[in-house]
Amino acid sequence: MDVDLIDETEGHAFVIQKSAGKRPQVLPIDDAHPFDLEAYISGYSGRAAVDRLTFIIAVCPSLAPQAFQLAITQMQSLRDTFLYNKTVEAYNNAQKQNEELPPHTDVAIIEQGWSENITAKNNAERTKLEVELKTYSSNMIKESIRMGHRDLGLFYRSIGEYSTSLKHYTKSREFCTTSQHILDMTLSILDLLMEQRNFAHIPTYVYKGEAALEAITGSRVAAANSGNLASKPAAKEKAVAERDRIQAKLDLALAMSYLGQGQYEKAAQAFLKVGPLSGLDGWAGVLIAPGDIAIYGTLCALATYSRAQIQAQLLENDNFGVYIEQEPYVRELIDAYMSSRFKTVLEILERYSTRHFIDIVLSQHVPFLMNSIREHALVLYFQPFASINLERMAAAFGWTSEYLEEQVVALIKKGSIEARVDRQNKVLKARTTDQRAALFQRALKSGSDMQSTNRKLLLRMRLQQADLVVKAPRNAG
């Protein structure tokens, strides 16, 4: 959790620098910003759900009691006793900001003795697994050692000791004998990293997994080809289907990793590549809700893609369409964007801003993505005009003309819009360049630059020929 907190502050510093947008101090939940916590959290289960709820407690005090309650219920089926402390701590912090919140003991109480119970069980299991591993090691049976490490990895993951878990998983790599084992290991690690939201590490394991997957599919197809004729196509199909299924997971992990690291264009590409929902069993509904894929992918695409790219890669993508159906407003958003109803786009983004900010993964990226979408919209809107009244443009975006001017000026300074603002008459005018004159000017300039560069280089050459080179004083060694 510590790691996440640090990431979050860094992310914020980065976002504030890059854009004016910033997460509001208190996230509003009202008619204009609808949010249904129960429906939202039903998309996740286990530890991921608790983590998300803890995050909500921190960022949205008005939802804190409800989230706390849900978190307590969820965590009783888990085995990590620290989770309870963390959640209580988050709640207390929220309480400090908002005095009206009831004390956490009033909201939900954990079963008496739960913590002691679990700790005792955990200790027993740990001892058991460690003894097992020791026995396997002394017997030197590779396969058993691998499974021993795997079981320990799973165990440590369940009690929240991620680094120990990762250690055991990576250790099991030494005892893998087939590509299938390697693939299993990488998938377990990816599972772990996704749960931990340790996005920086993901790509390494995705590439390892892809290599292993390639090897397996290759050998399976070969086996199918050499098998008897009747079962040939079926076996081949099965192998390919199996590959697609796992590939979907790898793609999703990669996409999340890009998003987590702020590489939005790559993230958009990766999200749009994710295969059908059926491939994500064990992840969808646990680590990530299918709707999330739609939201992350769409926001990234809108923020970085050109219109043609969106058309080709997002709208004409059947796989992704399935995900979009999970969150109807995403479809509305894309439609509004594609038909240039930017006011609607901004309204939808505003309406669901709470939904976005409350998401533990998306939260720190929202300001940048929103800003970027807004800028894209402004640029797109102005494109066909030679000049436009600022008032009219402001109306199209539902802004005041002062705010619009500010935005437009920022874009001009960035070089995204080739135009100038007539401040007196409130008109935005496209810049016309005399290409011929510009060309002449550039040619003349590069000519004189070249001459002076030549002269300087010549002098430099002469200096070097004469060995007039600055050298370190001899005594300085």
171 closest CA partner among 191, 190, 151: 151
Chain residues 151-190 in contact with another protein, contact rule CB under 8 A:
none
Please tell me whether residue 413 binds another protein under the rule CB under 8 A: yes
| Closer residue to another protein, CB minimum distance, 128 or 460 | 460
Q: Which of 230, 452, 474, 475 binds another protein (CB under 8 A)?
A: 452
Please tell me whether residue 458 binds another protein under the rule CB under 8 A: yes
Helix (H) or strand (E) holding 236, with range, is helix 232-260
386 closest CA partner among 352, 423, 428: 428
Please tell me whether residue 454 binds another protein under the rule CB under 8 A: yes
Give 288's DSSP letter.
B
User: Are residues 189 and 198 in contact, defined by beta-carbon separation less than 8 angstroms?
Assistant: no
Alpha-carbon span 264 to 63, nearest angstrom: 29
Identify which range of 133-141, 316-324, 376-384, 463-471 contacts another protein by CB under 8 A.
Answer: 463-471
255 closest CA partner among 274, 278, 242: 274
Binding track, positions 62-101, relative to another protein; x by CB under 8 A:
----------------------------------------
Please tell me whether residue 466 binds another protein under the rule CB under 8 A: yes
- Count of positions on this chain that bind another protein (CB under 8 A): 41
Min CB(401)–another protein separation in Å: 15
Binding track, positions 210-249, relative to another protein; x by CB under 8 A:
----------------------------------------
Q: Which of 10, 391, 406, 422 binds another protein (CB under 8 A)?
A: 422
Rg of the chain in Å (alpha carbons)? 29
Phi, psi of 468 (to 5 degrees): -90, 70
156 closest CA partner among 126, 183, 197: 126
| Closer residue to another protein, CB minimum distance, 99 or 436 | 436
| Closer residue to another protein, CB minimum distance, 41 or 428 | 428
How many CA atoms are closer than 13 Å to the CA of 72, on its beta-carbon side?
20
Please tell me whether residue 396 binds another protein under the rule CB under 8 A: no
Alpha-carbon span 429 to 371, nearest angstrom: 23
Please tell me whether residue 414 binds another protein under the rule CB under 8 A: no
Where b means 16+ CB within 10 Å and e means fewer, 322-350 reads: ebbebbebbeebbebbeebebebbbbbbe
Tokens 């590939």, located at residue: 247
* Residue 258, amino acid: Y
Min CB(423)–another protein separation in Å: 5
Q: Label residue 426 left, alpha or beta by phi (over 0 means left) and psi (-120 to 50 means alpha).
A: left
Identify which range of 91-99, 176-184, 369-377, 430-438 contacts another protein by CB under 8 A.
Answer: 430-438
Identify which range of 31-39, 40-48, 289-297, 409-417 contacts another protein by CB under 8 A.
Answer: 409-417
Q: Which of 470, 474, 475, 477 binds another protein (CB under 8 A)?
A: 470
Please tell me whether residue 412 binds another protein under the rule CB under 8 A: yes
Q: Which of 113, 465, 475, 477 binds another protein (CB under 8 A)?
A: 465
Structure tokens at 61: 């005090």
Q: Which of 230, 308, 435, 471 binds another protein (CB under 8 A)?
A: 471
The burial of 124, by beta-carbon neighbours within 10 Å (0-12 exposed, 13-18 middle, 19 or more buried), is given as: exposed
Alpha-carbon span 352 to 302, nearest angstrom: 15
Min CB(383)–another protein separation in Å: 18
Min CB(476)–another protein separation in Å: 9
Please tell me whether residue 307 binds another protein under the rule CB under 8 A: no
Identify which range of 55-63, 77-85, 177-185, 443-451 contacts another protein by CB under 8 A.
Answer: 443-451
Q: Which of 31, 318, 434, 435 binds another protein (CB under 8 A)?
A: 434
Please tell me whether residue 442 binds another protein under the rule CB under 8 A: no
If one counts every other C-beta atom within 10 angstroms of the C-beta of residue 364, the result is 22
Relative to beta strand 419-422, strand 387-389 is: unpaired
User: Are residues 390 and 421 in contact, defined by beta-carbon separation less than 8 angstroms?
Assistant: yes
Binding site for another protein (CB under 8 A): 409, 412-413, 420-425, 427, 429, 431-432, 434, 437, 440-441, 443-444, 447-448, 450-456, 458-460, 462-466, 468-472
